[in-house]
Structure 1
Amino acid sequence: AMASSTDGITICDEKDRYIYVNEAYARIFGYSQEDFIGETWRKITPSDLITVVEKGLEDTLHNKDTGVFKGEVPGLKKDGGTVPTEVMATGLWDENGNYNGHICIVRDITERKRAEEKLREGERFLETIFASIQDGIGIIDKDMNIISINKTGESWYPHAMPLVGKKCYEAYHNRKERCELCPAWETLKTGKSAYKEVPRHGPGGKQVGWAEIYSYPLNDMITGQMNGVIEYVRDITERKRMEEEIKQSEEKYRLLIENIQEGVFVIQDAKMVFVNKAIAAISGYSIEEIIGMDFHSFVAPEDLEMVQDRYYRRQRGEDVSSEYEFHVLRKDGEKTLVNMSVGIVTYLGRVASMGILKDITEQKRAEKLIKESEEKYRNLVELTTDIIYMTDKNSKHVFMNDAGLRILEASPEEVIGHHWSKCIYPEDREKSVQKFREMIENGTDVFDFENRYISKSGKVINVLHNIRILRNEKGEVIGTQGIARDITERERSAEALRLSNLVVENSQTVLFRWKAQKGWPVEFVSNNVVQFGYSAEEFLSGALPYESIIHPDDLERVSKEVRTHSGSGDDRFHQEYRIIAKNGSVHWIDDRTVIEREKDGNITHYQGIIIDITERKHTEEAIRKYNKELEESNRMKELFTDIMHHDLLNPLNVAHGYVELFLEDEKDLRKKSHLETIKRNLVKGMDLIDNATKLSKLKSLESIGFEDIDLKIVVTEVIENLTPLAVNAGMSIENNLKTRLPVKANRIIEDIFTNIIINAIKYAPQGKRIVVRGTEEANSCSVRIIDFGEGIKDPEKKLIFERFNRNEKKGVKGSGLGLAIVGRILQLHNGRIWVEDNPEGGAVFVVQIPKS
């Protein structure tokens, strides 16, 4: 078991020198097993930690009162690197309390450390995402008392502090009774979310602005009962003021956006004949220096052949890509990566090439940073229904989550690489660009900015933005990151239902509405029930009641639970059970049901959702199986330790030493014979330790070594060895084995009969005798050991073969390990053991061992 373990295992002597190292231990540190023998733990300990570890071992492993060292220690590998490890070492002590060495288990926890670091990175990213949401969040109980509020919410009402414990209308609005326009009250009444725009009040009840409030029911996760309301509050005072200002600045903003920051140039006869200031900034030359220069002078040598080829082919009228990237060679010799869009125009009456040049160095850096971080938070970003997007320095989208693409009805190619204003409703573009420019110029993030998107199909969507500026390590702007929430006015109920159904039909959650009648006939089911092979029409036609698809083994329980919840007045309940798909396959489902009652309490319908949790159930079963196997493995290790330290090793060593002393001095032959018998049995006891050790090591093997053995001889020797013990107890052992009992077995088989007969002597001395009989069958041999004691009760006949389970009897001492060892040895032999009642009173232990 130690050799095949995936954990590193070592055994060290009293000077902590390695005497055994398994392959896994050597592999962890990059050495061979032979490299460790004779060395100490210092071989794999960083030099700066040796003193610390020595002190730790002195206080723990080398201290008999403690005896155990456990902790995480960095190990030194052969190649000079380090590896994080988890170490557990147990000291070995002799009967005189002397330290004899230790056993150590070492586990490589590199992957665990990596996983922990990834988790921390994920948490840091989540904190960054939520740091951009600077809205007020409060929790109100059913009596409209404030029980919690975040810092943003508190900052709006410093005059009313402390807020917790006060009525919301008293603290927020300086009122003595509930507000008429109160979304929280509406949610408490209906159990549904609500939205309102309400005045925001300062000291003395004076209105100081406006806020929009979203209220959501706060339900108990177990009972489903609503305990209060969560209010999500945004201050929209500034938004309303800015809407008016933006309208007044539209004309000014139009001029600003036309004054683009990208480089514009015209090339004629390979000469630069026109450039703007941005071209001069990109190249490092002045405008005057550039005019008249050959355009080749601005291209880096590695890109010159490609740029020349495209220029002359375009001049000849060939179809050449109008947009590509290359490196500009600046006046100072540095290179700048640019994106160029170019085409053929007529300039001053002659053919020329006109294009736009954009410095994309920072864009590329931003794309690299975004790509590196994207995998860390993509799952979180894709789970939200809000639009999350990123733009580069040139205001082009470099990322938009699936929610945004769905809302815009666009593919990634239609958004990524395009200016963000392309998504904006035409009437809102100028004010949006103005706001964006102010954000960049002022270097401040933008919160609660409202405009409208337009989808590919022309649908207008009202959205509310929170935008944060992204900067590089130098503090330079490299782009933006934003969250946009759909705040479109609630559409007609039919449209809302259509959208809801669209979400459901594209998910694994199936909606049902059952009539409260026998068989639970279905009144409504979402079309995605097809995942179980059925169509919605089969249920809605009445031909297929819901009860008919519930697994027969679960139907009675499900029906009883429904009746119980219905009769107890519950509003909702939760069940897990199996259903049978149309193809006969069995699926575990999670059922969450709401009970619909009339005013008089009469139940008319059940409405709920079912989710396929078959994979989860399979995973849970696999985990339970693994835990059971792990538990059994630990039991075998404990069995070996218990035998070594509690029942055999110490007393046998002491007894053996005394017998040796008595034999040296004893002259009486009869006494000397008795002492020899004692010595022989002590040696057998110590042999048992070796066998127990072998059992532990053989736990992971399918078989052990067998040889031809005559059970008659083995059992006879056991009877002879135990006869003095029986006589001292006032008992006799009758050996009725008459013929050979040939089997294939290991010599450890003797311990089976030793343990059973010793148990009979301990627990059945009042029967005065033990009878041993044997029979040979076609494929096996059986030995029956019969006592005439009190017998064994039926519930205990299987339990006695488990560790630490034994019959309690006054005056009888034992560990409860003997019959457990018997059971394990028989498992290794593919044999059987069971207990029958002796008709004359007592118990019959039957041992059956295969011949081969």
Structure 2
Amino acid sequence: MGLAYTEIGNYSKAQDFLERSLSFSVQIKDEYGIAYQYGFLGKLKLKIAADKNRTNSTIAKNNNLKESIDYLSKAVDKFKALGVKEEQKNFLFSLSEAYKLNNDFQNALIAYSSARVLQDSIFSADNKKMIAELEIQKELELKEKRIELLNKEKDYQSNYTKLALALAVLFIIVSLFIFYSYRRKRKDNLLLLENILIREKAEEELRLNKIELEKYQQHLESVVIERTKNLETETSQRSRAEKASEESEGKYRLLIELAVDAFFQGDFDGNLVLVNSKATELTGYPKEELLKLNIKDLFPSAELEKNPLRYDLLKTGVIIRSERKLLRKDGSEIFIEMNSKKMPEGTFQSFFRDITERKKTEEALLRFNVSWQRLTKATHQLHKVLELPVVLRQLVFSAIKLTGAEDGAAGLLMDGKMVFKEYIKKGNVLPINFSFEKGYGVPGWVWETGNSYLTNDTESDSHVIQEIRRTLGFYNLLDTPIINGQGEIVGCFELHNKPGGFDEHDLMLLQNLAASTSIAIENSRMILRQKQAEEKIKISEQTYRGIINSIDEAIYIQDKDGTFLDVNNGAVRMYGYTSEELIGKNPLFVSAEGKNDLEMVGKKIALAFEGNPQEFEFWGKRKNGEIFPKNVRLYKGMYFEKDVIIAVAQDITEKKQADQKLKESEELFRNLVENITDVFYITDKRGKMKYCSPNFFLFTGFLPQEILNHSYVRVVAPVDQRMVVEHYIEAERSGIFDTRIELRVKRKDGIIFWAEQNTRFVRDEKENILEYRTVARDISERKHAEEALKKSEEWFRNLFEKASDGIFHLSLRGELLAVNKAFAMMHGYTVEEMQKMSINDLDTPQTSILFPERMRRVLAGENLTFEVEHYHKNGHTFQLEVTASMITVGNEKFVIAFHRDISERKKAEETIRASEERFRTISYLTSDYIFSTKICSDGKVEPDWVMGAFEKITGYTFEEYKAIGGWYALLHPDDRKKDADDFQKLLNNKKVISEVQIYSKNGSIIWLRTYAQPIWDESSDRISYVHGAVQDITERKYSESLISESEEKFRKIAEGTKAILFNTNTRGQITYANRAACAMLGLDEENLMGKFYLSFVHPDDRKKVHSYFLSQLKNNEQARSLDFRYVSATGNVGWLSFLVNILYKDDKITGLTGVAQDISERKQSEEALKRSEYQYRNLFETANDAIVIFEPDTEIILEANPKACDIYGFAKNELIGLS
């Protein structure tokens, strides 16, 4: 859309759209989207600067060029980081144009040359020729610029300068000639000397080769003997290597088949040679049919043109990640994420993942947020407007902004015609006067049918009045009716000239806007009626006085300075003064000293007198001296034809007290829950649990309802129960207030761990126990550390003496202080012999060179693992892997090192290197891994092996994973119970598919989807292994969280508004109600859910409300409002103006969503008006005096009562109209 606006010259809308797209891309972390939006914004700024039709000032042009260069540079950097050369090249060309337009020719040439280098690696020879021609043209332009500058310089040079230049050139030419002659002679001499040296060197090399040949002949026989001895060893090692290779190939095949993503392998012509079962499932092709296809056959032709397969980049070893559409066998298209890489054997491998749902989620989320924000803003603006003409004008402006149309108008039904008075043309308000009969033109058709009308070809549409079309100049239109609460059409609004045409989405938005407009129009008319009612009510002072005195709230009539002109009985009751004592005073008289900002009160009185309603809190002081808070609302009004301020006050003392208690209670609870780190619980004097903190579940596995009102001993391990009871009995007898104990706790799942708990005894004044307050923490790790310390010395001694690896203790001088038997045997010595040796006696010369640096690093605190070469006692050398570190005993430092003979391993490593390369490639490309776990006969679980992206997902190597405790150590606490249940299913030989959270090595939370298959061992009649695959679904969970956040945002708006919001299902049961709805109906949300909506409707109105509900569900009618009476749970009766819309899910109707406004006050005003008019009419008709009402200017009689007719002798109809 931003590019479309750019092309038609609507730069402001283009910039607005592109900036919002950039903001959204940053929000969802879409690196490709960010790069494209930077580039498009840069091109837009460049086009604005270059547009000759725009009257740009020099400053504006320079600012646009500066912003263009900045955006384009960011785009180039982003695409460079992403490895997308094609887009990097395109935006480099645009950057070159921006520099050129900014007269920065040097940077223009640099950008252009960079783009050409990229283009050379992408395009054909013909394109290279074209680029070369463009480059030459650019260079010629730059040279012409330089020549022009040089010519200008030349004009200012003096003849003396020219002469000096000529002499300098002559001097340089002579010097070069002399230097060339000298070099020529010197070169001949150097060549001769070089030939002599080469000959001498060749003679010396011949002599040395002869000596070397003699030595070689002497040792040839010994080498043959040694190699014969090693032949049998090599044959055995080769057999083991072949076996390892076969196992590696089997695991490789298993990884491919168990992969959650679709796998494809093929040659660089695109022919497929290997696929897995997920590939057939994703594409819809059988495996045999799929292997006959070229990979290009799996993509739509338009997709390949827009995003071609880059075999050229694959061949260079670049890993290519892209998102594109895939064409399935049945013709349907889905979105996939494609990861491809070149393999060592000259093929490529690709993993495809279906991301269609993610794409739909992103698109729906974007469209929902934009539409919702615009519609909400438009609705709020409409409800702020009070005057009817302004409502219509604001409606058209909001609809234009909401849909992107250019023009429009709104009309109202007046005197039997649909009348339009204003037309919005490109933001300007123009006066018009068009009226339409029912059925005439598009507005007449909308009036007649009650439906919206949409056409994108007005010229050939029979309903469009062509004369009006030519006058206003529109080519498409969308007309929407405005329907009031009684289902009557009161007006319509029509939009014109939307680029690209109107669609169903625009229709839906405008129908919702029309529903809000009907309420705004009704509010405007209601305000008008209220004003008229107020004017009529002023006729009777008695009626007026009765009304204000019947209101419980305090009402004051004040002049513009705040002086009280009149007060009602509510004000007398509030302050305890008589009305005479209050009238003539001001707010200072009733203000509590030091509690109010009287200057602020004065300002609000002034604003209210100007017609701006005000509301604030005020601390009052009663006649008896008592101070209290109240809420004050100020409105401008009329009092005996005089402008005044009407103040309405309400005592909020009880509300303040309730708010303060609630705040204190919430603060206490929040501090308790949020600040405690250990487990906290309270027991009564008999040991029964009264309270436990929320983290008690994580600590013991028991839910609060499972442990409350039970003995705390339930969570103590049986072995410690007696000891714990005796400890607390003894502590209670001793009279102490605090005690500490270490005990073993038994979790609900049977796991036992060590805990430390500190208990405070709460006693009464007689020292009797009231309750125990305990804080507990897990000390299992500390206990384990203490136990490990006891075993450490014995373990180390056994390790040193019985280890199969060689171990020595080395002094800082290189002396062998202690060696074990394995170390001595691998070198051919006894332990006693080696204790008399130093490390220099064993190291080969190459190893000795590296020894000082390795010793320095070990002494600096590093734990090193490296390879060395040692002499055996019989003279041969062999390779060892060494792990060395420094230890300190007392004040003495020495080195401990572990040695392993790796001669055979070195040979085996080379054999399986190629196979490991394939594993690394797959691990890098995919976001999944497979695993095998061993189930021991004693029930213990041991990790067997993992393959795939395990380290990329978790951050741990497999060795680190086993060292920290395996799967359970990574598992998020919230999912441990779920994982335990899943493991029980596996033990029952049932397959498990589950979604859990884990902690990665860097502390971040990762979501995983696991597929686990138990392997049954018939011989032992139990599960022996679990094989499975794991998929990283963090990105999907993130998308789901975005939708949840969007829904939470809507809920916060709903809960914060004063409007009454609710949802029902198709059976009429309430499924959601906001706070305002709960307050109105007198029930909390929990008790309101599931109630039938008609139970809150007044019995006399239920039939029409139910008919309205059913018509909305069955006929899918456009939203319209309805007025009816409601009855709250407490029996209060009020009036609501009720508007509903249909709820959909997966294109199916699931219920209704409604918004309502309490119009009880309006209805009461209307009823008071009726009563006033009745009283007035009754008094007028029954009066004993003759009463005549006439027009002052013409003195024509407008009304007369019966007594006047008797006096004058005329009938009433004869008397009216006379002078």
TM-score by length of 1: 0.27
TM-score by length of 2: 0.20
**Structure 1 or 2: more helix by fraction:** 2
Larger radius of gyration: 2
**Structure 1 or 2: more strand by fraction:** 1
